[in-house]
Amino acid sequence: MSMERTFVKDTLNKVGQSVTLKGWVDNKRDFGKLTFIDLRDFSGKIQLVGFQKMADLGIQDAIVITGTVKERGEKTINPELETGKIEVDVQEYSVLAKAATPPFDITKEELDLELPTLLDNRSLTLRHPKVQAIFKVQSTIVSAFRDFLKGKGFFEFQAPTIVPEIAEGGSEVFEVDYFGRKAYLTQSPQLYKQIAMSAFERVFSVNKVFRAEPSVTTRHITELVSLDAEMAFIESWTDITDLEDECVKYMLHEVETKCAKELKMYQATIPSTIDKTPVLSLTEAQQKIFDKTGRDPRGEKDLNPEDERDICKIIKEETGSDLVFIYGYPTKQKPFYVYPNPENPEFNEGVDLLCRGVEWSSGGRRVSDYAQLLNQVEEWKMDPSKITLFLEAFKYGVPPEGGFALGLERLTMQILGLGNIREASMFPRDMERVDLKLADKS
Amino acid sequence: MSMERTFVKDTLNKVGQSVTLKGWVDNKRDFGKLTFIDLRDFSGKIQLVGFQKMADLGIQDAIVITGTVKERGEKTINPELETGKIEVDVQEYSVLAKAATPPFDITKEELDLELPTLLDNRSLTLRHPKVQAIFKVQSTIVSAFRDFLKGKGFFEFQAPTIVPEIAEGGSEVFEVDYFGRKAYLTQSPQLYKQIAMSAFERVFSVNKVFRAEPSVTTRHITELVSLDAEMAFIESWTDITDLEDECVKYMLHEVETKCAKELKMYQATIPSTIDKTPVLSLTEAQQKIFDKTGRDPRGEKDLNPEDERDICKIIKEETGSDLVFIYGYPTKQKPFYVYPNPENPEFNEGVDLLCRGVEWSSGGRRVSDYAQLLNQVEEWKMDPSKITLFLEAFKYGVPPEGGFALGLERLTMQILGLGNIREASMFPRDMERVDLKLADKS
């Protein structure tokens, strides 16, 4: 079997020819004299028609085969499979690596495992098509985010992970022993992307952020991927919502077209969008909730989860859009860098994007005037000496600017309708688990 | 000035038209009645011809102008500038953000700052064209790495940052206080990329790695970006060198074509390559050094820095190639996962790539047979219970496989001929600095 390897997807152009394929035994069906094997490689899946002895092959064995590509009979065509109109008649095969018998049936269409079992066996469960689908969608989201922003002249930079003491304070931060001194894991690239923006005007990053929240819920993991963008020379905060609107729609469109099979596995549909995503102020949203449901959130400082679900439902009914921007939060409720509305400084020009009842992103216009920024730092009772690099960026001239951040795992989870954010992280870390369940403290 | 903004690069198509431009004052030249301004936005730089009053503008002020695009006279064309054949006659301007006077002359072609000053003023120095050039090259390297591998069917995954206790041991690792337990910052995505490979066959990642080496040298920073690839179903370790060879040449080609201006600023030339990069065993390389220089490194367990310089020089003279692969290191000198040569198990099938006297990457074939892997774990005196996810991947069938890793900052540094790796990290962290110089321990 010295013939050059053919990738599964390329067999489509090789009907009648002899090919060598390599891959894993995804499934097998034993029909006495014939054994049908689903062979999986990185490029796709194909049916092999093998002889009786191949029934001895184990699930997940890595094999190499030589055979002839032929068209299937009309009745045996599998419309679910990209290569469903062909199959390969095996002439020769050998095993490259024998697999142990999996502790559960990995060939089932639905894995039906409890989450701890899914994660305790992460290396094996990653081979399941429905698990792979999650990360196919995730990697499509990341690529779409980058491609869209590059197309708009945005510059990719690497935000740091290890950071000095956080000026904003906050206890939910991981401490690192840094040569006997204290350093921390970044909670957000916010200040660094603003620095990078002050030099490159339009920047983005795809970087890890860390949350030491001591919560075990379906929505909490400690290590997350943040998709961040920041842009200078805006006219208004609506330049940011316009940019984000276009970016998110591009990402959704990419997932819809490139992951149709994966979406189908989860019976998921891409969120509905309309030409221009509705934009409401917090006050307007609260009024609308009151008007439509009778429940009164007016005057609250933020939307609570019930408000988020209600406003999304209302907007969906009114406009058909699953997406909605909410802007104008109480200034003091948000970080020091969010721009207060000059006409009504009690409210700011921060903007969240909600989708199907959940917050997908936050962003908005930032304070870019140096004097105003120093003033905000003072009002927020922060120590300016802890953010000197950040302040320096604004000392040397930064025009009106803003940006937004999206959480990759949350987006993945929401698009596919997953029940737990851990499923949307290949190697999820939480309070109790880093790869495996952590031993009890002793 | 309500006209829609034109990006600098788009002025080229607008000769004779009125445009509104926004950007930073990169430089100015005052000629009495006329003031010439170099305006910089994310897309490029252009000369403005302004009236006398514009001499009051400060360097780095963020401004908006309206003016007319016109062709320059033959004699005033600037061939160094993409927009050098045109300029903009300013009719109106206003300042969007006033810059403080920089503490050093940021308009000079060469910044000539000591490294601590360069980094203490990172936000300002990031605006200098020669500093920006470094990160333009860096982001081009990253994009080329991703694009090349995606083109070969590789799948991008997110490797974790927080890891449990390292099975291989090693003291040069940062400890994280993980809810009162100990966790660590990853030194390499190696084991995770092998897990991801076992499921997706061809994978890559662009992720942070951390080195707690207590060294203050021109080559040490604690936070680095690692470009990692791993591939299953190889025939031999030479499949890995072939892949890496093609990948690195693609990256160099992309930098050469997309960063010509940036390379010129550093008087840097892309390393010379030949059709097939030479591949030598460690033993052959040592013999060659002995033969050519009289110095005798034969029998040593690795190449030392002098050996690396010598072998690169010799290969360059013999073949014209700045790149050379060295394979076959003493098995016990390398990690447990490197594949021992079956015909001579004292040496392994690990491969390093050297360029111009420096190691750029390491990689090679890995141990993929489960029984052999367990055996290696035992021989290396490692605790298998600390790498259960990793071992599980191989329990369920992994064919011959291998991969490689490149260090992004080192590549950037080498290509541009920078004197210190800190220059190749936007926010470099070392023993003494996290953004700013760390306070003395007290």
Smallest CA–CA distance, residue A172 to chain B, in Å, is 10
**A436 pLDDT band (50/70/90 cuts)?**
confident
Does residue A423 surpass a pLDDT of 90?
yes
Residue of A nearest to B98 (CA): A397
Q: Which long-range contacts (CB under 8 A, 24 or more apart) does A116-122 make?
A: A116/A437, A118/A423, A119/A422, A119/A428, A119/A433, A120/A436, A120/A437, A121/B392, A122/A426, A122/A427, A122/A435, A122/B195, A122/B389, A122/B392
Name every chain B residue with its beta carbon within 8 A of the beta carbon of A153: 7, 42-43
pLDDT at residue B437 in the model: 86
Quick one: average pLDDT of A395-405? Answer: 98
To the nearest whole Å, the CA of B283 is away from the closest chain A CA by: 30
R_g of chain B, CA atoms, integer Å: 26
Least CB–CB distance from A123: residue in B5, B23, B393: B393
Q: What pLDDT was estimated at residue A32?
A: 87
pLDDT tens per residue, range A144-173: 999 999 999 999 999 999 999 875 656 799
B4 contacts in A (CB within 8 Å)? none
Distance in angstroms (rounded) separating the CA atoms of residues A412 and A425:
9
CB contact (8 A) between residue B399 and residue A98: no
The pLDDT confidence band at residue B167, using thresholds 50, 70 and 90, is: low
pLDDT tens profile B310-346: 999 999 999 999 999 999 999 999 999 999 999 999 9
Determine the distance from the C-alpha atom of residue B183 to the mean position of all C-alpha atoms in its chain, rounded to a whole number. 27
Predicted structure pTM score = 0.97
Q: Any idea which residue has 């200098």 for tokens?
A: B128
- Name the least confident of A111-115, A196-200, B64-68: A111-115
- One-letter identity of residue A383: D
DSSP state of A269: -
CA distance B388 to chain A (A): 8
Domain architecture of chain A: domains with CATH: 8-97 (2.40.50.140), 123-436 (3.30.930.10)
Are A435 and B164 within 8 A, CB to CB? yes
For residue B282, pLDDT beyond 70: yes
- Per the DSSP assignment, residues forming a β-bridge with B65 are B21, B93
pLDDT of the residue at A215 = 84
CB contacts of A369 in chain B (<8 Å) are 97
Residue of A96, A104, A98 lying closest to A128 (CA atoms): A104
Contact at CB, B7 and A195, closer than 8 angstroms: no
Work out the angle at residue A180's Cα, subtended by the Cα atoms of residues A178 and A183, and round it to the nearest 5 degrees: 35
Q: What average pLDDT does the structure give for chain B? A: 95
Q: Report the pLDDT averaged over residues B295-323.
A: 97
What is the per-residue DSSP string for A303-338?
--HHHHHHHHHHHHHHHS-SEEEEE--BGGGS-TTB
Nearest CA in chain B to A205: B139
Nearest to A387 by CA among A368, A401, A373: A373
User: In sequence order, which residues have a C-beta less than 8 Å from that of residue B412 and are 6 or more positions away?
Assistant: B134, B137, B138, B141, B418, B424
CA distance B27 to chain A (A): 14
Could you give the CA distance from residue A270 to residue A415 in angstroms, rounded to a whole number? 6
Tell me the per-residue pLDDT of A55-109, one tens digit each, with 9 for 90 and over. 999 999 999 999 999 999 999 999 989 999 999 999 999 999 999 999 999 999 9
Q: List CB contacts (< 8 A) between B158 and chain A.
A: 138, 208, 225, 408, 425-426
- DSSP string spanning A95-133? EEEPBPPPSS-TTSSS----HHHHHHTHHHHTTSHHHHH
Are A97 and B398 in contact (CB < 8 Å)?
Answer: yes
pLDDT of residue B169: 59
φ, ψ of residue B433 to 5 degrees: the values are -140, 130
Q: Is A239 in a helix, a strand, or coil?
A: helix
Find which of B127, B434, B436 to mutate to test the A interface (most A CBs within 10 Å of its CB).
B434
Q: Do A199 and B132 touch (CB under 8 A)?
A: yes
Of B155, B180, B369, the CB nearest to A139: B155
For residue B246, how far is the Cα from the chain centroid?
A: 17
Q: B189 phi and psi, to 5 degrees?
A: -85, 10
CA-based nearest distance B98→chain A, Å: 5
- Chain A residues touching B179 at Cβ < 8 A: 212, 214, 431
d(C-alpha A108, C-alpha A113), whole Å: 11
Burial A294-317 (b: 16+ CB within 10 A, else e): eeebeeeeebeeebbbbbbebbbe
Decide: residue A2, CB within 10 A, 0-12 exposed, 13-18 middle, 19+ buried. Answer: exposed
Kindly identify which residue of chain B lies nearest to residue A136, measuring between CA atoms.
Answer: B155
By DSSP bridging, strand A279-281 and strand A323-327 are parallel
Instruction: Report pLDDT digits (tens) over A206-218.
Output: 999 999 988 888 9
Q: CA A195, CA A184: separation in Å to the nearest integer?
A: 19
Could you tell me the pLDDT band of residue B165, with boundaries at 50, 70 and 90?
Answer: confident
The answer on pLDDT for B375 being more than 80 is yes
Q: What is the ipTM of this complex?
A: 0.96
Comparing CA positions, the residue from A133, A102, A129, A107 lying closest to residue A117 is A102
DSSP A270: P
pLDDT at A137 > cutoff 80: yes
Helix (H, G, I), strand (E, B) or coil at A293: helix
CB B400 within 8 A of CB B386: no
Sheet holding B202-210, edge to edge: B155-156, B202-210, B223-232, B401-407, B358-366, B350-355, B323-327, B279-281
Find all residues with CB under 8 Å of B197, minimum gap 6, and list them.
Answer: B203, B230, B231, B232, B398, B401, B403
- Whether B2 has a pLDDT exceeding 60, the answer reads no
The full DSSP string for A155-190 is: EE----SEE-S-TT--S---EEEETTEEEEE-S-SH
**CB-nearest partner of B42 from A185, A200, A212:** A200
Confidence of residue B187 (pLDDT cuts 50, 70, 90): very high
| Residue A353 confidence (pLDDT) | 98
Contacts of A431 in chain B (CB under 8 A): 179
pLDDT digits (tens, 9 = 90+) for B103-145: 999 999 999 899 999 999 999 999 999 999 999 999 999 999 9
**Cβ-based contacts of A199 with chain B (< 8 Å):** 123, 126-127, 132
pLDDT tens column, A326-378: 999 999 999 999 999 999 999 999 999 999 999 999 999 999 999 999 999 99
Nearest residue to B248 via CA among B215, B279, B270: B270
Point out the residue among B178, B208, B435 whose CB comes nearest to the CB of A389: B435
- Residue A7 with chain B: CB contacts under 8 Å: 153
Confidence grade of residue B32 (pLDDT, cut at 50, 70, 90): confident
* List of chain A residues whose C-beta atoms are within 8 Å of the C-beta of residue B396: 60, 99-100, 102, 123-124, 127
Give the integer Cα–Cα distance in Å for A54 and A63. Answer: 11
CB contact under 8 A, A435 and B196: no
pLDDT given at position A2: 56
* Minimum Cα–Cα distance from B7: chain A residue: A153
The verdict on a CB contact (< 8 Å) between B399 and A441 is no
pLDDT of A441 = 61
Burial (CB count <10 Å: 0-12, 13-18, 19+), residue A93: buried
User: Which pLDDT band, with edges at 50, 70 and 90, does B441 fall under?
Assistant: low
Count chain A–chain B contacts defined by CB atoms under 8 A.
267
Report the chain B residue with the minimal C-alpha distance to residue A21. Answer: B233
Are the C-beta atoms of residues B79 and B45 closer than 8 Å to each other?
no
Rounded CA-CA distance B164/B192 in Å is: 12
The mean predicted confidence, pLDDT, of chain A is 95
Query: Angle B89-B94-B95 (CA atoms, 0-180°, nearest 5)?
Result: 125
What's the angle, vertex CA A183, arms to CA A182 and CA A187, rounded to 5? 140
Whether B392 and A5 lie within 8 Å, measured CB to CB: no
Whether residue B196 and residue A153 make contact (CB cut-off 8 A), yes or no, is no
